[in-house]
C-alpha cells in the first residue's frame, strides 16, 4: 500500500528530483570552494572557475557543442528570453522604435517562455507568425517553410512539446533555416538529456535547456550559442561584469553550474538504456489504460514522442476531479478549473482537441526512479478513479444512451 504521504511521482516533465550524485558534486562549492569565479588572482577564484569550466565541458558534450558555445543562465525561461530577444535585437531590420523590424516564426503550442518574449517583440515593432499545429502536434519543416517571409529573421520551434511529449522536426527545420540564412532557436528543455543531441548535425544556432528537468538543480540552465557557420550574436539582456562572454553578466551560480554539469554527464552516460526502460513503462501505461477504459485517447503523435511523457484524455471525466481521485499520484492535468479563465490547456486546444476532452486530460511523465510497481499501481488507481467519476458523470450517461454530446445546446454560464 502506498501512503498518500509518499505519492507516486509521475510529473517529471514539471521537474525532477536532483540526483544524489549531483548534490554530492555541488556540496564542496557551498563550503571550501566558495570562491567567485571572477576572482582571477587567488586560489578560491581559480577553483570556482575550474568547477564552471568542467561543467561547461560536460554540458557541451551532451549536445555535441564546443564548450565556449555554452552560456550558463538561470534556466530555460532565461535562455529562451536571451535567445529570442537577444537575437531579434541584433538581427532587426529597422532601428528600435520603428515598425517592420523583422518577422519571427514560432508555433501556437510553444511554452509561454517562448510565446511571451515573441509577443513582447511584437509590441516593439516585430511581426510574428504562430504556426497552428496539426492534430498530431508535430511541426514539420514544410510548415515552417510555408510561414517564412523575405523579412524573417528568427525561427523558434521547441524540440519537444512539454504537455504532449511530441517531437518536432528540428534537424529539418534547422537545415531549412540555414539554407535561408535565418537564425534558428530551439527550446530543447524536454529533449536534451533524454535524446541524443548534436547541434552540428541537427543544424541548431541557439538551444535552451534547464538543469532541473534533467535531475540537476533548479535555478540553472544553459543556452548554446553557435560560434561559427554562422557566428551568432546576441544582445545581452543583463549588463554588468561581462561574465559568460558578456551575454549574461552577474556572478555565476557556481554550485548550481557544477550540479548542472554533473547532471548533463549522468544523462549522457545512461541515456540509451534509460530511454528503453522508460519507453517500455510508458507503453504499458498507455496500452493498459486504453484497453481497460473506453473512450480513452492518447493525445499527440503516436510514435514521434519522447519516451517519458504521455498525455491522455479520459472522456466524460473532468481532469481536476480525476487528479483528486488519484491523489496518490503526482501528475498534471490539461484542465484549468483552478485558473480564473476556466480555459483548458491552450496546447491541447491548438491541436483541435475538443474542449471537453482537453478538460479530461492527464499528463503523466516518468523518470529515473519510476518503477514498474509504481506504473502498475498508477494504472489501477486511474482506472478506479475514472470508473468512480463516470458513475457520477451525466455526460457518460448521455454517451451510453447514444446521444452525440456535440449536438447538445448547453446552457453555458
Q: Is 31 exposed, middle or buried (0-12, 13-18, 19+ CB in 10 A)?
A: exposed
Smallest separation (angstroms) from another protein to the CB of 335 = 6
Is the N-terminal amide bond of 376 cis, ω within 30° of 0? no
The nearer residue to another protein, 372 or 380, going by C-beta atoms, is 380
Nearest to 222 by CA among 52, 85, 374, 387: 52
Ramachandran angles phi, psi of 234, nearest 5° = -135, 145
The nearer residue to another protein, 80 or 350, going by C-beta atoms, is 350
The nearer residue to another protein, 42 or 400, going by C-beta atoms, is 400
The nearer residue to another protein, 106 or 335, going by C-beta atoms, is 335
Question: Any idea which residues carry the catalytic annotation?
Answer: 337
The nearer residue to another protein, 50 or 320, going by C-beta atoms, is 320
Smallest separation (angstroms) from another protein to the CB of 159 = 30
Smallest separation (angstroms) from another protein to the CB of 162 = 21
Smallest separation (angstroms) from another protein to the CB of 331 = 15
First vs last Cα of the chain: how many Å apart?
42
E strands, 47-134, where? 70-73, 103-107, 127-131
Instruction: Identify the bridge partners of residue 223 per DSSP, sorted by sequence position.
Output: 71, 208
Provide the binding-site residues for another protein, judged by CB under 8 A.
316-318, 320-321, 324-325, 335-340, 342, 344, 354-356, 359, 391-398, 401, 403, 405, 410-413
CA separation, residue 373 to residues 1, 31, 332, 379, 388 (Å): 11, 39, 20, 10, 23
Nearest to 91 by CA among 234, 259, 265: 234
The nearer residue to another protein, 106 or 296, going by C-beta atoms, is 296
Nearest to 243 by CA among 71, 89, 59: 71
Smallest separation (angstroms) from another protein to the CB of 112 = 20
> SS3 of 120, please?
helix
> SS3 of 14, please?
coil
Smallest separation (angstroms) from another protein to the CB of 294 = 16
Q: Is 24 exposed, middle or buried (0-12, 13-18, 19+ CB in 10 A)?
A: exposed
Taking a C-beta distance cutoff of 8 angstroms, is the pair 88, 104 a contact? Answer: yes
The nearer residue to another protein, 80 or 360, going by C-beta atoms, is 360
Instruction: Identify the bridge partners of residue 208 per DSSP, sorted by sequence position.
Output: 187, 223
Nearest to 408 by CA among 30, 270, 398: 398
**Number of C-beta neighbours around residue 123 at 10 A:** 7
The nearer residue to another protein, 23 or 336, going by C-beta atoms, is 336
Smallest separation (angstroms) from another protein to the CB of 394 = 4
Smallest separation (angstroms) from another protein to the CB of 293 = 16
Ramachandran angles phi, psi of 206, nearest 5° = -140, 130
Taking a C-beta distance cutoff of 8 angstroms, is the pair 312, 322 a contact? Answer: no
Taking a C-beta distance cutoff of 8 angstroms, is the pair 258, 54 a contact? Answer: yes
Amino acid at each position: 500500500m502506498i501512503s498518500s504521504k509518499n505519492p507516486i511521482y509521475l510529473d517529471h516533465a514539471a521537474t525532477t528530483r536532483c540526483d544524489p550524485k549531483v548534490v554530492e558534486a555541488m556540496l564542496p562549492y557551498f563550503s571550501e570552494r566558495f570562491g567567485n569565479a571572477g576572482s582571477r588572482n587567488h586560489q578560491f577564484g581559480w577553483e570556482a572557475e575550474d568547477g564552471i569550466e568542467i561543467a561547461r565541458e560536460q554540458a557541451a558534450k551532451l549536445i555535441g557543442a564546443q564548450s565556449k558555445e555554452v552560456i550558463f543562465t538561470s534556466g530555460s525561461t532565461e535562455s529562451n528570453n536571451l535567445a529570442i530577444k537577444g537575437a531579434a535585437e541584433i538581427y532587426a531590420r529597422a532601428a528600435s522604435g520603428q515598425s517592420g523590424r523583422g518577422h519571427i516564426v514560432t508555433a501556437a503550442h510553444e511554452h509561454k517562455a517562448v510565446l511571451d518574449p515573441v509577443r513582447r517583440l511584437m509590441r516593439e515593432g516585430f511581426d510574428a507568425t504562430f504556426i497552428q499545429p496539426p492534430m498530431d502536434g508535430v511541426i514539420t519543416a514544410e510548415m515552417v517553410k510555408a510561414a517564412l517571409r523575405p523579412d524573417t529573421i528568427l525561427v523558434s520551434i521547441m524540440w519537444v512539446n512539454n504537455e504532449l511529449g511530441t517531437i518536432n522536426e528540428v534537424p529539418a527545420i534547422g537545415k531549412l533555416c540555414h539554407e535561408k540564412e535565418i537564425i534558428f532557436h530551439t527550446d530543447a528543455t524536454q529533449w536534451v538529456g533524454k535524446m541524443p543531441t548534436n547541434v552540428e548535425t541537427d543544424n541548431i544556432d541557439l538551444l535552451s535547456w534547464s538543469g532541473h528537468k534533467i535531475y540537476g538543480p533548479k535555478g540553472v540552465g544553459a543556452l548554446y550559442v553557435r560560434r561559427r557557420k554562422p557566428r551568432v550574436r546576441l544582445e545581452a539582456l543583463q549588463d554588468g561584469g561581462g561574465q559568460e562572454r558578456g551575454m549574461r553578466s552577474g556572478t555565476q551560480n557556481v554550485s548550481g553550474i557544477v550540479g548542472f554539469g554533473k547532471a548533463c554527464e549522468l544523462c549522457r552516460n545512461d541515456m540509451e538504456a534509460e530511454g528503453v526502460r522508460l519507453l517500455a513503462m510508458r507503453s504499458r501505461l498507455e496500452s493498459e489504460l486504453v484497453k481497460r477504459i473506453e473512450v480513452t485517447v492518447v493525445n499527440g503523435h503516436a510514435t514521434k514522442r519522447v519516451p517519458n511523457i504521455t498525455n491522455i484524455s479520459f472522456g466524460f471525466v473532468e481532469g481536476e476531479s480525476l487528479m483528486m481521485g488519484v491523489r496518490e499520484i503526482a501528475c498534471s492535468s490539461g484542465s484549468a478549473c483552478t485558473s480564473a479563465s476556466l480555459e483548458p490547456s491552450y496546447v491541447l486546444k491548438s491541436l483541435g482537441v475538443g474542449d471537453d476532452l482537453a478538460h479530461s486530460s492527464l499528463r503523466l511523465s516518468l523518470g529515473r526512479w519510476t518503477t514498474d510497481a509504481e506504473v502498475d499501481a498508477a494504472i489501477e488507481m486511474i482506472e478506479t478513479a475514472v470508473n468512480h467519476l463516470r458513475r457520477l458523470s451525466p455526460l457518460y450517461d448521455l454517451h451510453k444512451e447514444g446521444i452525440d454530446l456535440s449536438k447538445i445546446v448547453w446552457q453555458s454560464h
